[in-house]
């Protein structure tokens, strides 16, 4: 069913700020797409001592900071938060939540009464967990639905952000309202093969499809799998803490290979 996103009565245009932290440039790319579509102001959160571009060095530093309860210092942002009605807040996911420079910003800034729209980039997931943390940190802010995208899927952001903004009433235009996923059923061999093709080559998601439901989306099909983790092939007898089932979203666009879009642990 086609829906049109529009306003029934003329209201004052809200003032938007797109505020983001980026390390590799992925979150910046998403931020700039939001800024262009909304004609918004934009600003960046920057660590006073930048994180090294090397992945391992970044993980080691941020992991040590987490263990010691240290938040990195950040440079003052150039925009005045009080001037804006809606803040689009962007960040990469580290350790399942927003990156530490964003945590510093949230410690220093009161977003009470502001509409805050989270958006994030990630390797496998983290939108839901980061939004939960954001709501806990800023309980008097009006936290809106968020948008998240895997770094491997940045080529999809134009269409996805267009739909996100229309569906949530930020811009006008037609969009197709998606039906809810039906009840899940045990995954067939064919459906399990779609799951395997989607996660193939991603080392952090070694799992087997257990059940699934699906719905039609513009240009293809979206699946919601429940998957159970498998033993690590490099050390199947390792004494690792047990992990429960995970939810994995997979899309199959017409004529294209399956790709997973998000994992919820």
Which pair of structure tokens corresponds to residue 256?
A: 């294209």
Closest CA to 182 of 217, 145, 223: 223
- Asked if 191 and 205 count as a contact pair (C-beta separation under 8 A), the reply is no
Which pair of structure tokens corresponds to residue 161?
A: 């952000």
State how far the Cα of 20 lies from the Cα of 160, in Å rounded to an integer. Answer: 18
Closest CA to 116 of 140, 90, 86, 91: 86
Which pair of structure tokens corresponds to residue 10?
A: 């003329």
Largest CA distance in the chain: 64
Identify the pLDDT of residue 6: 56
Identify the pLDDT of residue 240: 46
Identify the pLDDT of residue 243: 65
Q: What is the dihedral of CA 109, 12, 34, 74, to 10 degrees?
A: -20
Identify the pLDDT of residue 186: 98
- Asked if 105 and 91 count as a contact pair (C-beta separation under 8 A), the reply is no
Identify the pLDDT of residue 54: 82
Identify the pLDDT of residue 111: 98
Identify the pLDDT of residue 26: 97
Q: What is the dihedral of CA 208, 210, 214, 220, to 10 degrees?
A: 20
Identify the pLDDT of residue 232: 65
**How distant, in Å, are the alpha carbons of 1, 78, 122, 243 from that of 127?**
27, 26, 8, 19
Closest CA to 176 of 191, 159, 151: 159
State how far the Cα of 221 lies from the Cα of 215, in Å rounded to an integer. Answer: 6
Identify the pLDDT of residue 171: 96
Query: Residue ranges of the chain with pLDDT lower than 50?
Result: 8, 235-241
- Asked if 21 and 45 count as a contact pair (C-beta separation under 8 A), the reply is yes
Identify the pLDDT of residue 11: 67
110-125 tens-digit pLDDT: 999 999 999 999 999 9
Identify the pLDDT of residue 203: 83
């Amino acid at each position: 069913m086609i829906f049109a996103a529009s306003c029934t009565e003329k209201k004052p245009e809200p003032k938007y700020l797109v505020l983001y932290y980026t390390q590799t440039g992925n979150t910046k790319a998403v931020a700039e797409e939001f800024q262009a579509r909304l004609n918004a102001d934009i600003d960046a959160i920057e660590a006073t001592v930048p994180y090294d571009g090397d992945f391992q060095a970044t993980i080691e530093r941020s992991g040590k900071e987490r263990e010691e309860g240290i938040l990195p210092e950040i440079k003052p942002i150039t925009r005045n938060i009080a001037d804006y009605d809606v803040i689009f807040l962007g960040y990469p996911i580290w350790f399942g939540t927003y990156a530490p420079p964003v945590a510093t910003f949230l410690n220093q800034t009161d977003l009470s009464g502001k509409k805050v729209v989270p958006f994030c980039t990630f390797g496998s997931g983290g939108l839901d967990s980061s939004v939960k943390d954001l709501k806990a940190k800023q309980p008097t802010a009006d936290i809106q639905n968020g948008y998240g995208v895997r770094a491997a899927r940045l080529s999809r952001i134009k269409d996805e952000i267009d739909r996100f903004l229309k569906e949530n009433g930020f811009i006008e235009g037609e969009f197709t309202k998606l039906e809810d996923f039906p009840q899940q059923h045990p995954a067939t061999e064919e459906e399990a093969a779609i799951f395997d093709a989607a996660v193939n080559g991603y080392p952090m998601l070694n799992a087997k499809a257990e059940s699934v439901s699906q719905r039609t989306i513009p240009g293809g099909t979206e699946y919601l799998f429940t998957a159970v983790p498998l033993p690590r092939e490099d050390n199947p007898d390792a004494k690792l803490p047990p992990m429960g089932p995970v939810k994995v979203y997979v899309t199959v666009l017409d004529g294209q290979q399956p790709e997973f879009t998000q994992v919820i642990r």
